[in-house]
Structure 1
């Protein structure tokens, strides 16, 4: 327990940062997202807490929940976490000041210090090679001097941070968001994973609706009591109505399209493919997914580790017949992709800017002879045991796809075009290499490099695939988050069909020896991972 006794069995973010210095980007974003939910919910209720958004007041419980300290125990934020208009007392507390304070917290989680120069002017740090460069753009907007130049609410800031984490770089696309959500603290909702929030969303407001004035008297501090008597009852009733409207709006806007009878392909609705959710117990942000010849499923993500504070990146393995995954003995600051050589069972992991061979069952740990990688995300192994890994442009002038043949002492770059952010790679049985990547302008494109070809060509334009996998027949599977769906593209005809529903956001795909498809991802508004098996789609 913390010395001030504010959170049973847990610690404050201040204590965690003092101990570890920085957090992984994935963990920092997950933490900020939970605080943003509280802030936007309080903002909708008229309570703004930017005067206490400070690592000392962000509490990390042992069950993984993150919360702001209550009014009885909160300490006032230091000046390093206060927006310029609050320091100068030129404007009242607003959603924009919440955004500024939360951006300060995220910056410290990533860099180890709050973003304030000695002069008091905001400074956007270069957050380093293991953190996507898009965070600079997100922090720059969150720390803008003028309140109107910041994100409209804490939730919008958290969404942009998550996009920076997933895409590797959002600097080329200016995020656009609607007004801040009306309320984020929802009870359990049918159809959503535990803890999932249907978010972000907006509540329609009729044109000409009068909005509250911006005088300081219109803002209620978190330490102020709620109004009493009939006024209190009216306030609670009005809040309940807003929550109900927001919830209905969210369900209508974000319900998977196939449930609403809307299809975005010409092949009709999803077929009756049997789908089973695997018992992975919701690892945060599952980045990698692989299946070995015995049917064991490997997933990378953040989980609780005995003796550690908060979640840590790990590799999980679920063997056939097990009801709970095992945490594999592999410790790293950041873990992304995972792949398995189905011939000998060797497992490969992308972690801490390198690729590691961990043998069968994680019996060894050997770094493969790749150069120091910039933002490596995905890797795969072909039928001959060659390892492929993709890295984003950063310190190097271009993005690179590397191939390391079995037993080779150095990798070779493959002739793929330079793209903003490679996201997924797959190799079929004939040696065709497929790359999914985000290009300039934010669109996702798919490229194919045939055996012996001198350059890759773009294939299946308009598919917008972010994650991919291939089966033994060469059929391509593509996770398309813009459509909240996974598609199958026939190798024989090129025809695409939408598969049965799993999760709206697919982060990784894999195919086993029996051509069963596995999907790892999360629900809307949630960072909690879910893993599904689809029998021979």
Structure 2
């Protein structure tokens, strides 16, 4: 009926959306009447989800409507580009349009053309209901017959095809069709003819979302009632439909088991006991260096997650493929093996085991045939012993060397322990003497300190222990004396993610709600009808504050439960009413019934 342009208002110095009636329709009294009625209808509906109208009029015979410019896409384009919405998104959109329709119905307007093409979405899924061009008013009956068959067939209630007065229930029926399309991704009755569309709406049963997706079973009853053939069997208002959809969403979320995924470690490969034939003797030369056969297979590199248990079995894997470099030096592994694994852990790097200077270990890889060559691996001498949880390292004990210390069976791989030659002289007397000297020095130092601070101790005030938490010492200078007291530790809260207009880190600056002094707002939300903050106290507790925008009525509740991503649930202990706040909206539930469902306009959380 008209075209919309982005225009610049020179008198108000702002960019606006300008809707103009097509010139070829300007001579048709019916379209002129509808266009004028749209301007009056949009201007009369004061609701956040109806685009505000700045002005309307006629210039050079062309009718226009000057309204706010909203950048976004319509729901029809969104569904065509990205497919169906998630249940949370679908309910969020339907709730917002339901409030817009409810506001129109309160002043006697019936939209009559609710469809995805007339729902405009911004980037954060804020929805606007547009195109009131064929809106019907009970006080303007002269256009009923002319506009009774106008609308989109896929969303028209059965009574729309009959000569009966239009009631708000036709918008409820159409909004239910939109809900179904958002959930499933197609219109309720996908037919290609006008006769097929009329027959389906009048006689075919309402489609079930669960037929397309079993997880949507809770929405079956909602769609069935919202698309009832008789108007008196549908929901009384669009808001009632939205509340039922929100309740179905909550029921679906509760019935879906939560799955926590984590890393899975799979240990495969046969386990074979150590075989002395696996030992490859290679006498070491000096501490910190070793000569090993170049053809021996080194253990996997840092990126692998498991090792081969012996030279005759395939490599062990732990949720990843192995690609070790046969020439790379061994490094310490950072992956942990499962406790129930039968395979003993293998240590990357040289590790010395106390009391086992001549222990040898087997090579954890197949031995290549070919000429023997040697290469030198150098590195600092590590100390300590490796002990995994419940496992002993893979070490084969060898007989004492014939040639004396340093000439026996050496380690055969860079990851084997380096032999430590035994000391001829015991270090016990030296250690005992050093320890005794330290004890004497410590005793002398303590005595001197007590004598120097004898007077200061008389002026030290001992504070009472803190009620809870950990305290940091604070030094307070008092003249020539220094007194020590303690100050409670402050809790550092992360910054807010996103922002809400008219609010700071403690809540709303004017008209509330706002957290108490020294308390931080963990979540801040502005809904279509309320303002809410979740506050965090210094003793690690939370409290909920909400204010109703219409009359300023407020409520404060203790101990809301965090649900993640800024979502909280709090229960009123007096009557059991539950308040559920998340990024999508504020839902108020009592005795299993949804009392209110308010979409969120702005949301920020820590």
Report which of the two structures shows the higher radius of gyration computed on alpha carbons. Answer: 2
Structure with the higher fraction of residues in helix conformation: 2
When normalised by structure 2's length, the TM-score is 0.32
